[in-house]
């Protein structure tokens, strides 16, 4: 009885030093330069000058704790949904406080519409405002396509909407074509609006209508299909992320020697990246965002995260980097 208790306590407090160090260091690495060069970017500094280091330290501790929870593959899908949504809540709470209470809550002091498609469309229309595209590309260099599975303030909603049902089969070819047509469409519309000299009000109406239709897609289609249709077809940033994410060296691999072809992982992937063909080919499909949910679902531990095709499973390191970036995003990626 006593020895059982000790074992449970040991397991409960088992610390994975490597992921702890990586996640906290990543948060500090991303936030300390901000604290030194542009402290006002941090919310604490805007209200209590000189207190930014407290915010940075708390976020680093949070990242360390989260990495310890996520190290257990059984927790991945459940906890990722929660921390991703937590970010979205913080983001939109700050947005609303900035709108209705105090504009200090808005990072730039100016209002920007929280619609990811604008990351692509706004710089084309305005010929300036490259902060978000630069943030996106820098983040892709750090975490690859996990922008669309852990970091975007809207994607979390699509994820939640799709949780209600198990994924239904979709026509992958059609969804991929649709996804890239959306990028072309959004770029074309931004160019046309620029050429005709559309007013900012007209642009805002356009963008809000686009965003609201996206919410309708989540609530109706993603919910019904159990699949993140909004993020895999409608949002143009998703297409860019998947495309550029292919430059990132981490990939999902399936060990054909241990895989039992049970297809359970397939019914846990909300991005349609684990069809029968993908499983038989031993790798995730085109839409994979490196979310890690399939690790939770595989009873045979056949799925791993590989770096440059190497055999070693790098999930632990990759997850710690994503978690560290997520903690830094809590401080940075606000409007």
Q: Which residue has the tokens 């980097």?
A: 321
Binding flag, residue 242, ligand SF4 (CB under 6 A): no
Nearest to 276 by CA among 285, 114, 230: 285
Which residue is listed with tokens 């963008």?
207
User: Are 226 and 168 spatial neighbours (Cβ–Cβ below 8 Å)?
Assistant: yes
245: contact with ligand SF4 by CB under 6 A: no
Q: Which of 34, 59, 143, 269 binds ligand SF4 (CB under 6 A)?
A: 269
**Residue 265 binding ligand SF4, by CB under 6 A:** yes
CB 245 within 8 A of CB 253: no
Size of the site for ligand SF4 (CB under 6 A): 39
Q: How many CB atoms lie within 10 A of CB 183?
A: 18
Is residue 252 part of the contact set for ligand SF4 (CB under 6 A)?
yes
Query: Does residue 262 touch ligand SF4 according to CB under 6 A?
Result: yes
Does 279 sit near ligand SF4 (CB under 6 A)? yes
Q: Report the nearest approach of ligand SF4 to the CB of residue 208 (Å).
A: 15
List 148, 203, 333, 335, residue binding ligand SF4 (CB under 6 A): 148
Asked if 107 and 335 touch (Cβ cutoff 8 Å), the reply is: yes
List binders of ligand SF4 among 112-141 (CB under 6 A).
116
For residue 261, state whether it binds ligand SF4 (rule: CB under 6 A): yes
Quote the DSSP letter at residue 104: G
Can residue 217 be called a binding residue for ligand SF4 (CB under 6 A)?
no
* 222 sits near ligand SF4 (criterion: CB under 6 A): no
Measured between alpha carbons, how far is 318 from 22 in angstroms, rounded to an integer? 9
Q: Which of 27, 67, 289, 325 binds ligand SF4 (CB under 6 A)?
A: 289
Report d(CA 169, CA 51) in Å as an integer.
51
Among 254, 320, 328, 331, binds ligand SF4 (CB under 6 A): 254
User: How many other C-beta atoms lie within 10 A of the C-beta of residue 173?
Assistant: 8
User: Which one of the spans 102-110, 204-212, 298-306, 312-320 is the region binding ligand SF4 (CB under 6 A)?
Assistant: 298-306
Helix ranges (H only) for the chain are 2-12, 17-37, 43-47, 52-70, 76-100, 117-126, 131-143, 155-162, 172-195, 200-217, 223-225, 229, 236-245, 276-281, 293-297, 315-332
Is position 226 an interface residue for ligand SF4 (rule: CB under 6 A)? no
Instruction: Decide: 116 and 234 in contact? Cβ < 8 Å.
Output: no
User: Of the candidates 142, 241, 331, 335, which one interacts with ligand SF4 according to CB under 6 A?
Assistant: 241
Q: Residues 61 to 100: which contact ligand SF4 by CB under 6 A? A: none
Residues engaged in binding ligand SF4 (CB under 6 A):
116, 148, 152, 154-155, 158, 231, 235, 237-238, 241, 252, 254, 259-265, 268-269, 271, 273-274, 279, 284, 288-294, 297-298, 300, 302-303
């Amino acid at each position: 009885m006593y020895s059982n208790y000790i074992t449970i306590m040991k397991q409960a407090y088992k610390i994975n030093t490597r992921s702890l160090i990586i996640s906290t260091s990543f948060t500090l690495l991303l936030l300390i330069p901000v604290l030194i060069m542009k402290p006002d970017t941090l919310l604490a500094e805007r209200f209590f000058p000189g207190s930014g280091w407290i915010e940075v330290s708390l976020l680093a501790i949070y990242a360390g704790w989260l990495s310890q929870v996520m190290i257990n593959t059984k927790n991945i899908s459940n906890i990722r949904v929660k921390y991703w949504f937590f970010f979205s809540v913080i983001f939109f709470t700050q947005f609303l406080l900035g709108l209705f209470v105090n504009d200090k809550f808005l990072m730039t002091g100016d209002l920007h519409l929280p619609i990811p498609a604008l990351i692509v469309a706004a710089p084309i229309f305005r010929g300036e405002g490259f902060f978000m595209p630069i943030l996106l590309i820098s983040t892709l260099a750090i975490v690859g396509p996990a922008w669309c599975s852990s970091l975007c303030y809207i994607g979390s909603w699509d994820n939640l909407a799709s949780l209600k049902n198990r994924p239904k089969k979709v026509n992958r070819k059609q969804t991929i074509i649709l996804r890239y047509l959306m990028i072309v469409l959004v770029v074309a519309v931004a160019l046309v609006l620029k050429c005709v000299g559309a007013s900012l009000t007209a642009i805002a109406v356009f963008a809000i209508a686009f965003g609201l239709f996206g919410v309708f897609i989540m609530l109706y289609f993603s919910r019904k299909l159990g699949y993140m249709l909004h993020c895999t077809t409608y949002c143009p940033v998703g297409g860019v992320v998947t495309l550029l994410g292919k430059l990132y060296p981490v990939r999902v691999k399936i060990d054909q020697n241990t895989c039992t072809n049970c297809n359970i992982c397939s019914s846990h992937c909300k991005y349609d990246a684990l069809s029968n063909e993908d499983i038989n080919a031993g790798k995730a499909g085109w839409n994979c965002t490196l979310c890690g949910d399939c690790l939770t679902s595989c009873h045979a531990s056949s799925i791993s995260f590989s770096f440059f095709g190497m055999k070693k499973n790098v999930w632990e390191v990759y997850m710690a980097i994503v978690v560290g970036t997520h903690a830094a995003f809590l401080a940075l990626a606000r409007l």
